[in-house]
C-alpha cells in the first residue's frame, strides 16, 4: 500500500487486517501514556482545503500518538488567496520535509492528483462527494466492536446519500465485510444510478426500520445542493428524521451511528443522539485508532509496542 485513497478495491482481508491493527491501537490509546514511538522522526502534514473538525484533529492526534511530528495547512490564511496553485502549494510543503500528506478537498480526485506530484504517501481525508476511506474504517470498527462481526448485519444508511462521500466508502466497506446494506432516502437524495452500489434501496424509512441492526444517519449536505431537492426541512424530518418515536421501534440491540457534524432536530433528534445506543462518540474515538493503523501501515514503523 503506497497511498490510502479509497475503499474501492480493498478485499475483506485487507479491511480485516487494518481493523485488527486498529484494535491494537485502541489498546494503546487506553494506556495511561497513550503513545508509542513507532513513527518518531516522521512528519505528517494535514492539508484540509475544506472545513473539518473531526477528521483533521483525529489525524493529528493519531500522528502524535505514534510520535510523529505534524504540520497543518489552513487554506484561509495561506497564499492560496494570493493565487498560488494547488500544485505549488503541495510542492512547497513537500520541500519543507514531510513524510505523508493527509488531504481533504472539495474537488473529487484531488488526492489522486497530489499523489502524482509527490512520492510520499497521500491519505484521502475526503474528496468531494467521492470517498472518505478512513471514515469507513472507523465506522466498520465501531460496528465490529459492538456486534463482533459485520457478517449478515442489516445496515440502513439514511439520508443524503447522493452527496455523501461517507456513504460511498461505507457501502463498499460494509458490503465487502459481509453486511447487507440498504440505502434509505427520497429518490432525489439517492445516487443517480443506485444500481452501481452494492446495496438495496428503500424510499420508506418506516418500512425498513424494525429490520435494521445499524441505523447510519447522514447529514443533509446543503453545501452540495442536498437541501434543494425536497420541499422543506420539516418535511424531510417528518419522513426521514431519526426521531425518538422511530428509535423506539428499532430492535432492542440496534445501534445508531452518525459521522458528524450532526444537525440535531433535522436528521436526528437530540434525545436519540444522546442515547447510549448512539455510538457517535465511540466513532470519534475509534477514528484516532484507525488513522494510527493507516499511518503506521504507510510509514512502515517497525514495532507498535
Query: Which residues contact ligand NCD by CB under 6 A?
Result: 54-55, 126, 132, 135, 165-166, 219, 221, 259-261
Residue 44 to residue 304: CA distance in whole angstroms? 17
What does the buried/exposed string (b/e) look like for 212-224 if buried means 16 or more CB atoms within 10 Å of the residue's CB?
bbbbbbbbbbeeb
Please report how close the Cβ of residue 279 comes to ligand NCD at its closest, in angstroms: 14
Residue 38 to residue 29: CA distance in whole angstroms? 14
Residue 298 to residue 7: CA distance in whole angstroms? 15
* Nearer Cβ to ligand NCD (21/50): 50
* Nearer Cβ to ligand NCD (129/212): 129
Please report how close the Cβ of residue 166 comes to ligand NCD at its closest, in angstroms: 5
* Nearer Cβ to ligand NCD (261/270): 261
The three three-digit cell numbers of residue 161, written as one number: 446519500
The SS3 call for residue 56 is: helix
Sign, CA torsion 30/33/36/40? positive
* Nearer Cβ to ligand NCD (169/301): 169
- Tell me the residue ranges of DSSP E strands in 25-153: 43-48, 69-73, 100-105, 122-127
Q: What is the largest CA-CA distance in the chain?
A: 56
* Nearer Cβ to ligand NCD (186/259): 259
The residues that bridge with 214 in the sheet, in sequence order, are: 155, 255
Please report how close the Cβ of residue 258 comes to ligand NCD at its closest, in angstroms: 9
Please report how close the Cβ of residue 102 comes to ligand NCD at its closest, in angstroms: 12
* Nearer Cβ to ligand NCD (146/224): 224
Please report how close the Cβ of residue 47 comes to ligand NCD at its closest, in angstroms: 15
* Nearer Cβ to ligand NCD (259/301): 259
DSSP state of 224: G
Please report how close the Cβ of residue 241 comes to ligand NCD at its closest, in angstroms: 15
Please report how close the Cβ of residue 249 comes to ligand NCD at its closest, in angstroms: 25
Any idea what the Cα angle at residue 56 is, between residues 256 and 140, rounded to 5°?
35
Residue 54 to residue 44: CA distance in whole angstroms? 17
Amino acid at each position: 500500500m503506497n497511498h490510502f485513497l479509497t475503499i474501492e478495491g480493498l478485499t475483506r482481508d485487507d479491511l480485516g487486517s487494518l481493523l485488527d491493527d486498529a484494535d491494537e491501537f485502541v489498546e494503546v490509546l487506553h494506556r495511561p501514556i497513550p503513545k508509542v514511538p513507532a513513527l518518531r522522526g516522521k512528519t505528517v502534514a494535514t492539508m484540509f482545503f475544506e472545513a473539518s473538525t473531526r477528521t483533521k484533529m483525529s489525524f493529528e492526534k493519531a500522528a502524535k500518538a505514534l510520535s510523529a511530528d505534524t504540520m497543518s495547512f489552513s487554506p484561509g490564511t495561506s497564499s492560496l488567496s494570493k493565487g498560488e496553485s494547488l500544485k505549488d502549494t503541495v510542492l512547497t510543503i513537500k520541500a519543507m520535509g514531510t513524510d505523508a500528506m493527509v488531504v481533504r478537498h472539495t474537488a473529487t480526485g484531488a488526492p489522486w492528483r497530489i499523489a502524482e506530484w509527490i512520492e510520499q504517501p497521500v491519505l484521502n481525508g475526503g474528496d468531494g462527494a467521492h470517498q472518505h476511506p478512513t471514515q469507513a474504517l472507523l465506522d466498520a470498527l465501531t460496528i465490529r466492536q459492538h456486534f463482533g462481526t459485520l457478517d449478515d448485519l442489516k445496515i440502513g444508511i439514511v439520508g443524503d446519500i447522493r452527496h455523501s462521500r461517507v456513504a460511498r466508502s461505507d457501502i463498499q466497506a460494509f458490503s465487502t465485510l459481509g453486511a447487507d446494506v440498504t440505502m434509505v432516502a427520497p429518490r432525489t437524495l439517492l445516487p443517480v444510478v443506485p444500481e452501481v452500489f452494492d446495496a438495496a434501496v428503500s424510499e420508506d424509512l418506516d418500512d425498513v426500520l424494525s429490520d435494521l441492526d445499524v441505523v447510519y444517519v447522514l447529514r443533509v449536505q446543503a453545501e452540495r445542493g442536498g437541501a434543494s431537492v425536497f420541499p422543506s426541512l420539516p418535511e424531510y424530518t417528518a419522513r426521514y428524521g431519526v426521531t425518538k418515536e422511530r428509535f423506539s421501534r428499532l430492535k432492542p440491540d440496534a445501534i445508531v451511528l452518525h459521522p458528524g457534524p450532526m444537525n440535531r432536530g433535522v436528521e436526528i433528534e437530540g434525545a436519540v443522539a444522546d442515547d447510549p445506543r448512539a455510538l457517535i462518540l465511540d466513532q470519534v474515538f475509534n477514528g484516532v485508532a484507525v488513522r494510527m493503523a493507516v499511518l503506521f501501515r504507510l510509514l512502515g514503523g517497525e514495532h507498535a509496542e
